[in-house]
Amino acid sequence: MCGILAALYCSDTSFSKRRRINELSRRLRHRGPDWSGLHCYKDCYLAHQRLAIVDPASGDQPLYNEDKTIIVTVNGEIYNHVALKEKLKSHKFRTASDCEVIAHLYEEYGEDFIDMLDGMFSFVLLDTRDDSFIAARDGIGITPLYMGWGRDGSIWFASEMKALSDDCERLATFLPGHIYSSKTAWSIGHEIM
């Protein structure tokens, strides 16, 4: 399994914050020794520690839509990615990664796309067009996801609590089958089946 870390709406956007995110992401290195990736946008950071299973040559993360306005870091596998790509014929895929469909599905269908996914997953997606994000975890909860709240009002997500514990004042397990949207907070009653 891969390791993901996201820190969103941080008050500190200095180079030292970027260095700190890399340091925290390295705590997840044992989950994904094949690649380390980081995307920084304004006050948001998405990091990934990759275990290359599907598309080991070009599936490095974070992943993007065509114009890189939608960024996603994913832990898991999307079993029905081939069928989903068929619904996205107008989109250009950069990789053969099963998880790249997430960015394109969001661009096409908005948050409703999550119900289309068949697989085991946890992810954080950043939409730079309106500075919003969503986080989601599959209905069974096969891949772990934790959430934290920073002292500066930032919101954090990670595959393991040890990537959050030093920088967050509150921590919680992200419940299986749930979605968190910056537009609506918890999607009450919206569970992924």
The string of pLDDT tens digits covering residues 149-164 is: 999 999 999 999 999 9
| Spans in the chain with pLDDT lower than 50 | 188-193
Look up residue 12 and give its DSSP letter. Answer: -
Q: Is 99 a catalytic residue?
A: no
What 3-state class would DSSP assign to 112?
A: helix
What 3-state class would DSSP assign to 73?
A: strand
Q: Does any domain span residue 192? A: no
Q: What is the pTM of this model?
A: 0.91
How many domains does the chain divide into?
1
Catalytic residue among 2, 10, 44, 99: 2
**At 133, which CATH number?**
3.60.20.10
Q: Does any domain span residue 191? A: no
**pLDDT at position 51:** 67
Q: Does any domain span residue 193? A: no
* Residue 96: φ, ψ to 5°: -105, 15
What 3-state class would DSSP assign to 98?
A: helix
**pLDDT at position 184:** 84
